[in-house]
């Protein structure tokens, strides 16, 4: 299985690549969005600014969106999850629009939200294969989907309850960082990949 991490200038690619790699899985990092689509699994990484990442997607936004909608398995991590949505109040620029909704600043006393937090109401099939009751978050913004049935897990920071996981077909977005969420987080990523080949 070939897994490609699209590098749009986000940090932390090494630890994410390490979490994804395993038996029968090769991981590549690609900065060209069209080349990144020539893969079995696309990964949109976390850490970074929505405006800057959206700008890197501009030339290939339609191609990426169409590929994901056509069934290209995709994992969006933190900022990568937010890019699956239409737009963000963090700055100008359009997301991929795979999931209808916006990203907005956390309605919380302490922003950003950094550290371990619970993953609640987890109903995604991945949690059966890889239980993850707590995960590591680092976000100042959160996704607000129009269709909340796409939310397969939640979390709460201060007074703001927001999606921890969303799923649309073979696309999964996680607001937390599985690569920083200890062994359980790595198992969650591996369960995502294993489920694609099952």
Burial class (CB in 10 A: 0-12, 13-18, 19+), 117: middle
Q: Which of 78, 90, 113, 157 is catalytic?
A: 78
Active-site annotation holds for 177: yes
Structure tokens at 15: 């630890």
- In the set 90, 143, 157, 177, the catalytic residue is 177
Could you tell me which of 98, 77, 115, 85 has the C-alpha nearest to residue 169?
98
| Catalytic-labelled residue, pool 90, 143, 157, 179 | 179
Has 14 been annotated as catalytic? no
Has 78 been annotated as catalytic? Answer: yes
Total Cβ atoms within 10 A of residue 18: 12
* CA distances (Å), origin 162, targets 37, 42, 78, 166, 194: 29, 24, 13, 10, 27
Active site residues: 78, 177, 179
């Amino acid at each position: 299985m070939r897994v490609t991490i699209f590098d749009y200038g986000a940090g932390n690619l090494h630890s994410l690549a390490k979490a994804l790699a395993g038996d029968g899985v090769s991981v590549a990092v690609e900065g060209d969005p069209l080349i990144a689509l020539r893969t079995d699994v696309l990964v949109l990484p976390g850490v970074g600014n929505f405006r800057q990442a959206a700008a890197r997607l501009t030339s290939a936004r339609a191609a990426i969106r169409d590929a994901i909608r056509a069934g290209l398995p995709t994992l969006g991590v933190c900022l990568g999850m937010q890019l699956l949505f239409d737009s963000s109040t963090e700055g100008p620029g359009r997301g991929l629009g795979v999931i209808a909704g916006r990203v907005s600043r956390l309605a919380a006393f302490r922003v950003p939200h950094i550290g371990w937090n619970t993953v609640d109401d987890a109903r995604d099939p991945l949690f059966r294969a890889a239980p993850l009751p707590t995960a590591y978050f680092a976000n100042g913004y959160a996704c607000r989907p129009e269709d909340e049935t796409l939310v397969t897990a939640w979390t709460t920071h201060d007074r703001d309850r927001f999606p921890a996981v969303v799923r649309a077909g073979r696309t999964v977005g996680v607001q937390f960082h599985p690569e920083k969420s200890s062994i359980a987080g790595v198992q969650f990523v591996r369960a995502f990949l294993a489920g694609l080949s099952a």
